[in-house]
Amino acid sequence: MTPPALPIPDRQGERDTRNIPIDRVGVKGLRYPVEVRDRTHATQATVATFAMTVDLPQEFKGTHMSRFVEILNAHGRLIHVENIGEMLRALQKRLHAERAHIALEFPYFIGKPAPVTGAVGLVDYQVRFETSIDGKQGDFVLTVVVPVTTLCPCSKAISAYEAHNQRGYVSLSVRFKKTVWIEELIALIEASASSEIFSLLKRPDEKAVTERAYDNPVFVEDLVRNVALRANAEPRITWYRVEAENMESIHNHAAYALIEKDRRGEAGKASAKKPKAKAKR
C-alpha cells in the first residue's frame, strides 16, 4: 500500500515577524513573445522583457512567483492598454495585493522609405510600457526611444569646412487621455531633430539626408525644446518627459538635456482665465 503523500510546505505563506512591508516584489527579466498595436498593420509581433511586481504586507513572508507567469500566460500575446489593466487587476486578486506594477520593453519596427529613391528598410525603436494600479487608481506611461541625427549650430557657424554632427537619442515618455500611437511619438521626435535616420540609403538619399541636417542644425537644448513645443500642441498628451542625449563626435562626453511638464491642470487654468460673461439685463 502506497503511503499517503506528505503535504508540501508553503514557506511563502508563513507569517513574518519583522514588521517590514515590501514595496515591490515579483519577477523581472522575463522574455515573452507579444503582439502590440501597430497603426499601419493592426498588430506587430515582437519579444518583450517583462517586470511584474506587487506590494507585500509586513505579515507575509513571501509572494508566489509562479503566479506572475501564470497571469502573463493566461492573457495571451496581444498586449495593449486594455488587457494590461486586466493583468494588473489579476495580480491584485491572485496575490492579495493593493498595488501591482507591470513594465515591458520591446523593439518596435517601422519600414521607412529613403527620402529620394524610396528604398524601404526597417528601423527599430525601443518602446516601453510602464503600468501600475493602486487600489482602483491606474496609471500608464508610454516611452519611445528614437535615434536621430543632430548637427552642431556652433560648429556650422565657426567652421570653414562643414560642421560636425552625431547620433542623438531622444526618450519621450507620455501620459495621455486618448490613444496616442507609437508611430505618432516617433514622428514627433524625428521632426524635431536635424534629420531622422534610415537603415537603407543610396547615394542620392545620403546626399539629401546630409544636406537636410546641415540646413537644420540643433543643439541638444533645441532638440528637447522642439519636442516640448510639439507635445504642448497635442491635446491628448497630459504629461510628458523628454530627454535628449547627443553622443558627441568631437568630445569624450555626451551632451544631455531634459524637460518635464504636467499638463493635467492646464484646462482648468485656461477656463479660470476666461472672463465671465456679463449677465444680460
Question: How confident is the model over 255-265, as pLDDT tens digits?
Answer: 999 999 999 88
Calculate ∠ Cα 49-88-177, nearest 5°: 90
SS3 state at 131: strand
Cell of 248: 558627441
Cell of 71: 497571469
- Fill in the amino acid letter for 107: P
Please identify which residue in the block is written with the cell numbers 508610454: 142
The pTM for the full model equals 0.88
Q: What span, in angstroms and rounded, lies between the C-alpha atoms of 254 and 230?
A: 24
SS3 state at 256: strand
Closest alpha carbon to 173 in 112, 229, 129: 129
Mean pLDDT of 150-169: 93
Q: How confident is the model at residue 7 (pLDDT cuts 50, 70, 90)?
A: confident
pLDDT of residue 281: 44
Residue of 16 and 257 predicted with greater confidence: 257
Q: How confident is the model at residue 86 (pLDDT cuts 50, 70, 90)?
A: very high
Q: What span, in angstroms and rounded, lies between the C-alpha atoms of 261 and 240?
A: 6
Residue of 269 and 164 predicted with greater confidence: 164
pLDDT of residue 278: 55
Q: What span, in angstroms and rounded, lies between the C-alpha atoms of 94 and 168?
A: 43
Q: What span, in angstroms and rounded, lies between the C-alpha atoms of 277 and 279?
A: 6
Q: What are phi and psi of 39, to 5 degrees?
A: -65, -35
In order of 38, 51, 158, 274, the CA distances from 182 in angstroms are 8, 21, 38, 34
Q: How confident is the model at residue 273 (pLDDT cuts 50, 70, 90)?
A: low
Residue pair 221/140 in contact (Cβ under 8 Å)? The answer is: no
Mean pLDDT of 269-277: 57
Q: What span, in angstroms and rounded, lies between the C-alpha atoms of 109 and 127?
A: 10
Percentage of the chain surpassing pLDDT 70?
A: 94
Q: What span, in angstroms and rounded, lies between the C-alpha atoms of 152 and 166?
A: 8
Q: How confident is the model at residue 45 (pLDDT cuts 50, 70, 90)?
A: very high
Q: What span, in angstroms and rounded, lies between the C-alpha atoms of 49 and 27?
A: 11
The pLDDT tens digits for 126-147 are 999 999 999 999 999 999 999 9
List of domains in the chain: 22-265 (3.10.270.10)
Q: Considering the chain, what is the average pLDDT of its residues? A: 91
Q: What phi-psi label fits residue 29: left (phi over 0), alpha (psi between -120 and 50 degrees) or beta?
A: left
- Which DSSP category does 228 fall into? H
Cell of 256: 544631455
Does position 87 have pLDDT exceeding 60, yes or no? yes
> Within a 13 Å sphere around the CA of 127, how many CA atoms are in the beta-carbon half?
27
pLDDT of residue 268: 58
Residue pair 235/243 in contact (Cβ under 8 Å)? The answer is: no
SS3 state at 259: strand
